[in-house]
Amino acid sequence: MTPIDELLAIMARLRDPQLGCPWDREQTFATIVPYTIEEAYEVADAIERGDMSELKAELGDLLFQVVFYAQMANEAGSFDFNAVVAGIIEKMLRRHPHVFADAKVGSVSEQAQAWEQHKAQERAEKNQQVAPGLLDDIPRALPAMTRAMKLHKRASRIGFDWKHAADVLQKLDEEVEELRVEIESAAPQERITDEIGDLLFVTTILARHSGVDPESALRHANAKFERRFGRMEALAKAQGRDIKDLNLQQQDALWDQVKAEEQKPVKTGI
């Protein structure tokens, strides 16, 4: 028995109506979704930390999510794990004719363009009965920042885009000013929420124009804030103080000290 066959057998046993696990038996496609999203983020986290041992474990957890869905679909008579594998094999062969057939591409950008053309053709064939909108098939369940990136990337295909990052920066300044006006005028919360949403959306567009994944950038910023705040706590403790008892000016002084420490050049050599 191969490892994947053993994993499939374990999943089937977990879902067995008589001998299975009560928790696994009661799960549905909808209840498993949050776990799938969490596992995908844990994979990303392991990669960003460069922890290969943890990455191996997290990829196993993510694979188990696929096996779980396939088992439930098999029970419903829809499809099984082998059909999932066959489907992705067929898709990869179809979308890579420059590798598995006679098509030729001259550069990475040409290959990316060909990939998008294949996807567009697939969407058109899938929606032959109803003409789909350009943005219709972008999943609504994606993290908001990731979905914003995909929405604007798709719209840019028809030229609805700024040409340069500098143009987006100008728009970002406009959005900041509009938000400032709403806040200073004590506008209703829904208007402030709307302006903050616009600001975040344009920030995502700026990230795309700069070749930056906004989700990764924000995770990096989160990790940096967490690291610096932890160092602030340690510095306060070393001074015999609790950071909770410090006023904002004192906390800011610690924050500046931490930043200064990080900016010190690293000594090299013997």
Residue 54 maps to which CATH number? Answer: 1.10.287.1080
Q: Taking the model in full, what pTM does it have?
A: 0.64
Same domain membership, residue 56 and residue 44: yes
197 belongs to a structural domain: yes
Structural domain for 221, as ranges:
216-263
Residues in the chain: 270
147 belongs to a structural domain: yes
Question: Would you write out the chain's pLDDT as a tens digit for each of its 270 residues?
Answer: 899 999 999 999 999 999 999 999 999 999 999 899 889 989 988 998 899 999 999 999 999 999 999 999 999 999 999 999 999 999 899 888 888 877 776 666 666 666 666 666 666 666 665 557 888 888 887 888 989 999 999 999 889 999 999 999 999 999 999 999 999 999 999 999 999 999 999 999 999 999 999 988 998 899 999 999 999 999 999 999 999 999 999 999 999 999 999 987 655 555
What is the Cα–Cα distance from 149 to 206, expressed in whole angstroms? 10
193 belongs to a structural domain: yes
Same domain membership, residue 155 and residue 73: no
Same domain membership, residue 86 and residue 7: yes
Instruction: Classify burial at 168, counting beta carbons within 10 Å of its beta carbon; exposed 0-12, middle 13-18, buried 19 or more.
Output: buried
103 belongs to a structural domain: no
Sequence-ordered alpha helix ranges (H) in 76-213: 81-95, 97-100, 108-126, 144-156, 165-184, 189-209
Same domain membership, residue 90 and residue 8: yes
Domain count, the chain: 3
270 belongs to a structural domain: no
Same domain membership, residue 199 and residue 168: yes
* CB atoms closer than 10 angstroms to residue 76: 9
Same domain membership, residue 180 and residue 233: no
109 belongs to a structural domain: no
